[in-house]
Amino acid sequence: MTDLKKTLPGLLIPRLWPASRPDLRRRVVIALLFLVLAKLVNVAVPYFFKRAVDLLDTGVSAGQIAVGAVLAMVLAYGVARMASQGFGELRDAVFAKVAQAAIRDLALQTFNHLHALSLRFHLERQTGGLSRVIERGTKGIQFVLQFMTFNILPTIVEIGLVGGILWWLYGWSFALITVGTIAGYIFYTLSITEWRTKYRRQMNDEDQRANTRAIDSLLNYETVKYFTNEAHEARRFDEALSRYERAAVKSQTSLALLNLGQGAIIAVGLIGVMSLAVLGVRDGSMTLGDIVMVNAYLIQLYLPLNFLGFAYREIKQGLIDMEAMFKLLDVPQEVQDRPGAPALDVSRGEVEFDAVRFAYDPRREILAGVSFRIPSGAKVAVVGASGAGKSTLSRLLYRFYDVSDGCIRIDGQDIREVSQTSLRRAIGIVPQDTVLFNDTILYNIRYGRVEASDAEVEEAARMAQLDGLIARLPDGIQTMVGERGLKLSGGEKQRVAIARALLKQPKIMVFDEATSALDTHTEREIQAALARAAEGCTTLVIAHRLSTVVDADEIIVLDQGRIAERGRHHALLQAGGLYAALWHKQQEARAAGEAIVSDRPNATPLPAAGD
């Protein structure tokens, strides 16, 4: 927790006293003023009660009660209690905007930081656990702000005021017992709460693990059904819930121990002070009103003191909940812009990979000195077996990672020297696995350029050959696509991805195995849309199916991170090397598939492979 304690003031104080928000600063000052007024009035409440009792006691002894004076004290008592509560409510109302603005700002900072982290982090993260970390962390911030600002500090102030009044009016013994009781209460509370912390942290870990397993299982709903593993998934989820249950039981039973101890300490202190007060009344040094005032002060003090224990527990739990969220903010950005990095100036759109080396893990190099150039408006394809490093090229071009050695240039500019935003705006991509937002087709296409008009979106959809599908749907372009686009077929999702890339109007286009998961008929249809999307663009095609790249200006064959061959389709076939072997192997597999289909009754033959 050491790092967290160092981080907490730096994260929260600037948000409680924001330099750029004088309106929020004014609210903080006004809220503190209401806080002081509430505590001053609250300390005066028992005095009015004492005066009323003394007037009654004196009146009974004298045989005549001054009803008007008693009623005045009762009225003052009631008004003071109401004013104390009113000032407290005004304090909370004024400070609410400050607290919520701080929570919003910190949550937004975390959200932006997550988007700024590298692809490596997001490939390793667990979505369910991460969402729960942010949710609990945000609630933790609210607890800490609320309890620390308006419960812990005010209660300490009130303890000091009441202790001083008791000492001044009734002597050091009253103050000593009161302060000693409070000290014992605080020591006991802190000690037991520190001991209980491990159970709360264990609860959080198990809760996060259970949530991760549940979300992971639901996201893979179809896979679970394919292999009839519902019982297996239920067992895994129940194992996590069982561990959470054990931690929660330990946390609850230890809480009972804490509450019992706190109650015992308060009872001992109350007995001690009230015994002194009774002796004072017997000796005549104290009036009946004094004993009532002492009792009122103790109750008035012990109630918030009891809440102080609850507040401390909530703050401790809030800090634990915030710990994981703050750790996210400590994760360094693997890929960062250079200070003052200029925007990429794209005129021709020429792309060059110059002796590029890269490894996800230093023990295994993925690219070993890859060099090639894509002239402006040209189409270059990269092919090779799985694991050869093809898709890594697109990730490096987008600067999801930085090269280990060598350089990538666009129009002669090293992409590490320009801003990432301007770099990515210049590149459009149609990925192999198109994941869509759980929104409409219109929203998912417009995501390519969020300021585009409806007419521009519809034109992009038409160019991607989506207009036929949209016309058949009852809700048209407003049709919801479902989570990750699961309501659409693979070909339909690819068309949405193409439309999105077209709407972006990039200078450079990347097709990262955009048709590898499609059937041959759908692939032919998508190829026409891809060709239209590539018009006028510098195009990098990363492909597994060689039939999709026969028209490329140059084909580069990667083998174990190195360029094994390069040239045009016919030249590579004539060379009889690795490309030719891959080509013939794919053609044989395709012919075998067509033979199987032709043997079936009423089978529709697949389209012939183009050369």
Averaged pLDDT in 10-residue chunks for the chain of 611 residues: 50 76 90 86 83 73 66 86 89 86 82 76 63 75 74 75 80 83 84 78 81 83 80 87 86 83 85 85 80 79 68 73 76 82 91 92 87 92 84 90 92 93 90 83 90 89 85 88 79 86 88 68 69 82 85 91 91 91 83 56 39 31
29: amino acid identity, one letter: V
Distance of CA 323 to the CA centre of its chain: 13
Per-residue pLDDT, 607: 37
Q: How far apart are CA 368 and CA 358, in angstroms?
A: 7
Rounded CA separation 322/8 (Å) = 9
d(CA 189, CA 185): 6
- As a whole number of angstroms, the distance between CA 385 and CA 375 comes to 25
- Look up tokens 């140059």; give the residue: 554
Amino acid in position 441 = I
Residue type (1 letter), 314: E
* pLDDT for the residue 422: 92
Task: Name residues whose C-beta falls within 8 Å of residue 109's C-beta, 6 or more positions apart in sequence.
Answer: 329
What's the CA gap between 323 and 570, in Å, rounded? Answer: 60
pLDDT for position 610: 34
- Residue 406's pLDDT is what? 93
Closest alpha carbon to 478 in 497, 461, 502: 461
**Residue 317 C-alpha from the chain's centroid:** 19
333: DSSP letter:
P
Domain with CATH 1.20.1560.10 in the chain: 2-330
Placement of tokens 């990098």 in the chain: 540
Rounded Cα–Cα distance for residues 211 and 322 (Å): 18
Tell me the C-alpha distance between 511 and 28, whole Å. Answer: 54
pLDDT of residue 606: 33
Nearby residues of 363 by Cβ (< 8 Å), 6 or more positions away: none
- The whole-angstrom separation of Cα 602 and Cα 611 is 27
pLDDT for the residue 491: 80
CATH superfamily for domain 2-330: ABC transporter type 1, transmembrane domain (1.20.1560.10)
What span, in angstroms and rounded, lies between the C-alpha atoms of 74 and 43? Answer: 16
Question: pTM surpassing 0.95?
Answer: no
Q: Residue 350, by phi and psi: left (phi above 0), alpha (psi -120 to 50) or beta?
A: beta
Which CA distances in Å does 65 have to 58, 78, 293, 473, 549? 8, 20, 20, 87, 106
Which three-class secondary structure state does DSSP give residue 314?
helix
d(CA 457, CA 477): 10
CB neighbour list of residue 134: distance below 8 Å, 6 or more residues apart: 107, 110, 111, 325, 328
Which residues neighbour 223 within 8 Å (Cβ) at sequence distance 6 or greater? none
Helix axes 67-116, 288-330, angle to 10 degrees: 10
Cα 133 vs. chain centroid, distance in angstroms? 7
Can you name the CATH fold of 351-426+506-598? Answer: Rossmann fold (3.40.50)
pLDDT value, residue 99: 83
Hey, which residues does 556 pair with through a beta bridge? Answer: 382, 566
CATH 3.40.50.300: which residues of the chain? 351-426+506-598
Please tell me the total number of residues recorded for the chain in this structure.
611
DSSP reduced 3-state for 64: coil
Full 3-state SS string of 482-506: CHHHCCCCHHHHHHHHHHHHHHHCC
How far is Cα 346 from Cα 532, in angstroms, rounded to an integer? 21
Count of CB atoms within 10 A of residue 586's CB? 15
Distance CA 43, CA 297 (A): 8
Res 608: pLDDT: 35
C-alpha distances in Å from residue 267, one per residue of 9, 270, 306, 601: 36, 5, 12, 90
Residue 364 CA: distances (Å) to CA of 509, 558, 599: 29, 16, 46
